[in-house]
Chains A and B, each alone.
Chain A
Amino acid sequence: MKLNLFVWNHDLSIKIPTIIRTATFDDFNQTKAWQTNWTSRAAKAMPNKVALCRKDDNELLGLMSYEVNNCGLAVEVIYLESAAHSNANLLHKGLEGKKYIGISHALFAHAVMASMDAGFDGVLYFKAKTSRLREYYIEEFGAMPLSSFDPFRLAIWEDAAATLVQEYLVEEDSL
């Protein structure tokens, strides 16, 4: 089985096919207006950087860095960012309006697949950035808290991982 990733347009009426590939220098050069400049030294040091792009025009939608953790038997989502056009702060700087929904969902699905490929049954762990995102991950992705001392530590275990990728899965022959 393979993933046929997609995102939604802003009113959830159109499914937009996407692809995921290894991020390139050209991708990083497009992040100068993003929250994080991916050409920075810290970003350069991050492993396994992938880019989510529209299938039709190759427009960059999001970037993610992840790492396979053999001690934890899981994939760690290190950093994930969606493109500036989805960033309300940057709208005030004259960039286009919000265009897509589901960028993080598609990138998380790719991380689940990386975990499956590594033999970890889709298990992921990561740290939510805000309380609202923490609730979103728990409700929508089936993430589970790992600690009461640090409630932002979350994991997506096997069953939730399988559910997360379900809507993207297709037979390899149909791609």
Chain B
Amino acid sequence: MSDKKEYLLQIEEDGATNGWVAPMSQEDRDYFAHFRSVCNRYNIQPSRATKLEYDFVTRVTESEFYLRQANA
């Protein structure tokens, strides 16, 4: 319990000092939308996906997204 408390205090300090989240760029938003579309295409629900399925969706998204960017 005291380890957990210490950990949470450190996290709280880290978040308060540095900020909890970084602002997302338009590229981040486009990437997320593409991730969702790949999930739909292969009928994979991320929260129920196996590790293999999730890794597959991630790799397909990255491959397509960055290839499209390179070709733009």
Q: Name A residues whose Cβ lies closer than 8 Å to a Cβ of B.
A: 10-12, 35-36, 69, 71-74, 76-84, 86-89, 98, 100-104, 125-130, 132-133, 136, 144-150, 152-153, 155, 157-160
- Contact between chains at A86 and B46 (CB < 8 Å): no
**B54 — nearest CB in chain A belongs to which residue?**
A144
Asked whether, in the complex, the Cβ of B23 is within 8 Å of the Cβ of A12, the reply is no
Interface residues of B in 8-29 (CB under 8 A from A): 8-24, 28-29
15 contacts between A and B (CB under 8 A): A71-B33, A80-B20, A82-B20, A83-B16, A98-B9, A101-B9, A129-B19, A129-B21, A133-B11, A144-B46, A144-B54, A150-B28, A153-B28, A153-B31, A158-B47
Picked from B15, B32, B45, the residue with its CB within 8 Å of the CB of A129 is: B15
B62 within 8 A of A: yes
A81 near B20 with CB under 8 A, answer yes
Q: How many A-B residue pairs have CB under 8 A?
A: 131
User: Once the chains bind, are B17 and A88 in contact (CB under 8 Å)?
Assistant: yes
**Which of B16, B33, B54, B62 has the most CB atoms of chain A within a 10 A radius of its CB?**
B16
**Cα of A153 to Cα of B25 in the assembled complex, Å:** 11
Q: Is the CB of A74 within 8 A of B23?
A: no
| A102 partner residues in chain B, CB cutoff 8 A | 8
Structural contact, A128 and B46, CB atoms closer than 8 A: no
- Check B11 against A132 for contact (C-beta < 8 Å): yes
Closest chain-B Cβ to A90's Cβ sits at a distance in Å of 8
How far is A83 from B13 in the complex, measured between Cα atoms in Å? Answer: 11
Q: Given the complex, which residues of B lie within 8 Å of A148, measured CB to CB?
A: 58, 62
With A147-B58, A159-B48 already in contact, the answer to whether A12 and B8 are too (CB < 8 A) is yes
Q: Is the CB of B24 within 8 A of A86?
A: no
A87 to chain B, nearest CB (A): 4
Tell me, rounded to whole Å, the shortest Cβ–Cβ distance linking A74 to chain B: 7
How far does the alpha carbon of A94 sit from the alpha carbon of B51 in the complex, in Å? 48
Asked if A133 and B16 sit within 8 Å, CB to CB, the answer is: no
B47 and chain A: residue at smallest CB distance: A157
CA distance A158 to B23 in the complex (A): 22
- The answer for the CA separation of A71 and B12 in the assembled complex, in Å, is 32
Q: A104 CA to B13 CA in the complex, in Å?
A: 11
State the 5 A-B residue pairs at the shortest beta-carbon distance, nearest first: A157-B47, A87-B16, A86-B16, A159-B47, A80-B20
Chain B residues whose CB sits within 8 angstroms of the CB of A88 once the complex forms: 13, 16-17
